[in-house]
């Protein structure tokens, strides 16, 4: 008898526990709703309680656990671990991020602003993932991190650098997770409207110019990104790890 040359098919645990950072608005909310529609339990993280409570209240028939936490604060991250109370995590979606306020004048102001940006976009994902790493399902755990088109072409001062850092860190993490059957992938969105990223109105002031850069002639939507995240967290994506999936309407071409 010959041994199979592939890992056994994983029996999916139902319902899956899915941790989503930045789950109250924009892409994070769409990601949470995609998993809720598939019957998952969602642990919804973000600094503000109100958008997270709204997500929970809008889905009374689903299981949404709200844990307000500033993920740049290690103590807050440890409270997330406590809130999980030893439950295995099937999927971790590192989505929280954003561009902060403009720097104060001078080098000190610049340093402060760059640090905030790196904390919010890179270290928040690193801290949360490290804290939840022992809880990830083995085999079958999934980590999906939201980077940005800015990682490829710059933008936002330290923002593009922080988002590029997520890709390098994701490669290391994928190597760590491989032997345990954990996949780690990155989704790199282009311009996505209907989020709080650019403004509370959900659009960039450069909306028309950003749409014109796409081959498909439209902005992305949070659900475009949620679909990609959901796929990478699926059983079908079980042999995809250490990859970056661009979801940008063709604004930057892959190779
Ligand atoms: N929109 C775009 O065009 C675009 C393009 C490429 C990549 N991205 C990336 O996509 C991700 C989602 O952004 P979005 O466009 O959906 O914008 P968004 O609506 O502003 O969502 C960002 C979410 O992250 C949460 N968050 C920010 N800092 C946090 C922290 N320190 N701790 C915990 N939660 C935090 C925010 O909630 P609280 O404020 O309540 O904490 C918010 O819910 C971000 O990583 C962003 O950088 C966006």
pLDDT band at 101 (very low <50, low <70, confident <90, very high): confident
For residue 6, being part of any structural domain is answered with no
Q: Is the CB of 192 under 6 A from ligand 1?
A: yes
User: Does pLDDT of 118 surpass 70?
Assistant: yes
For residue 2, being part of any structural domain is answered with no
What total of structural domains would you count in the chain?
1
User: Does pLDDT of 99 surpass 60?
Assistant: yes
Q: What is the CATH number of the domain that holds 95?
A: 3.40.50.720
Q: Is the CB of 135 under 6 A from ligand 1?
A: no
For residue 32, being part of any structural domain is answered with yes
For residue 11, being part of any structural domain is answered with no
Cα(7) to ligand 1 centroid in Å equals 35
Q: Is the CB of 97 under 6 A from ligand 1?
A: yes
**Nearest ligand 1 atom, CA 120:** 31
For residue 100, being part of any structural domain is answered with yes
State residue 2's pLDDT score. Answer: 45
User: Does pLDDT of 43 surpass 90?
Assistant: yes
pLDDT band at 39 (very low <50, low <70, confident <90, very high): very high
For residue 7, being part of any structural domain is answered with no
Contact assessment for residue 129 and residue 136, using Cβ atoms and an 8 Å cutoff: no
Q: Is the CB of 47 under 6 A from ligand 1?
A: yes
State residue 165's pLDDT score. Answer: 98
For residue 24, being part of any structural domain is answered with yes
State residue 100's pLDDT score. Answer: 83
pLDDT for 160-178, tens place per residue? 999 999 999 999 999 999 9
**Nearest ligand 1 atom, CA 30:** 16
For residue 1, being part of any structural domain is answered with no
Nearest to residue 13, comparing CAs of 44, 38, 48?
38
Read off the pLDDT of each residue in 73-102 and give the average, rounded to a whole number. 97
User: Does pLDDT of 254 surpass 70?
Assistant: yes
**Nearest ligand 1 atom, CA 150:** 6
Active site residue 231: no
pLDDT for 62-83, tens place per residue? 999 999 999 999 999 999 999 9
Give the domain extent around 167: 17-247
Out of 19, 20, 21, 26, mutate this one to test ligand 1's pocket (max ligand atoms within 8 Å of CB): namely 26
Cα(22) to ligand 1 centroid in Å equals 6
Q: Is the CB of 17 under 6 A from ligand 1?
A: no
């Amino acid at each position: 008898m010959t041994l199979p040359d592939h890992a056994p098919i994983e029996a999916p645990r139902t319902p899956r526990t899915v941790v989503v950072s930045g789950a109250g608005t924009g892409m994070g909310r769409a990601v949470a709703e995609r998993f809720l529609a598939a019957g998952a339990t969602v642990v919804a993280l973000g600094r503000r309680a109100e958008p997270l409570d709204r997500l929970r209240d809008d889905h009374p028939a689903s299981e949404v656990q709200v844990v307000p936490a500033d993920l740049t604060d290690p103590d807050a991250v440890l409270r997330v671990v406590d809130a999980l109370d030893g439950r295995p995590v099937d999927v971790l979606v590192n989505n929280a991020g954003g561009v902060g306020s403009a720097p104060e004048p001078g080098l000190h102001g610049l340093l402060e602003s760059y640090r905030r940006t790196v904390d919010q976009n890179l270290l928040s994902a690193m801290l949360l993932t490290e804290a939840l790493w022992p809880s990830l399902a083995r085999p079958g755990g999934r980590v999906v991190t939201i980077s940005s088109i800015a990682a490829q072409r710059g933008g936002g001062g330290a923002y593009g650098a922080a988002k590029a850092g997520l890709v390098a860190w994701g490669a290391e993490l994928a190597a760590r997770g491989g032997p345990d059957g954990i996949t780690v992938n990155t989704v790199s969105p282009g311009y996505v409207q209907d989020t709080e990223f650019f403004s509370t109105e959900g659009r960039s002031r450069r909306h028309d110019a950003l749409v014109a850069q796409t081959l498909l002639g439209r902005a992305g939507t949070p659900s475009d990104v949620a679909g990609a995240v959901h796929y990478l967290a699926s059983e079908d994506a079980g042999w995809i790890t250490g990859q970056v999936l661009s979801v940008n309407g063709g604004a930057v071409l892959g190779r």
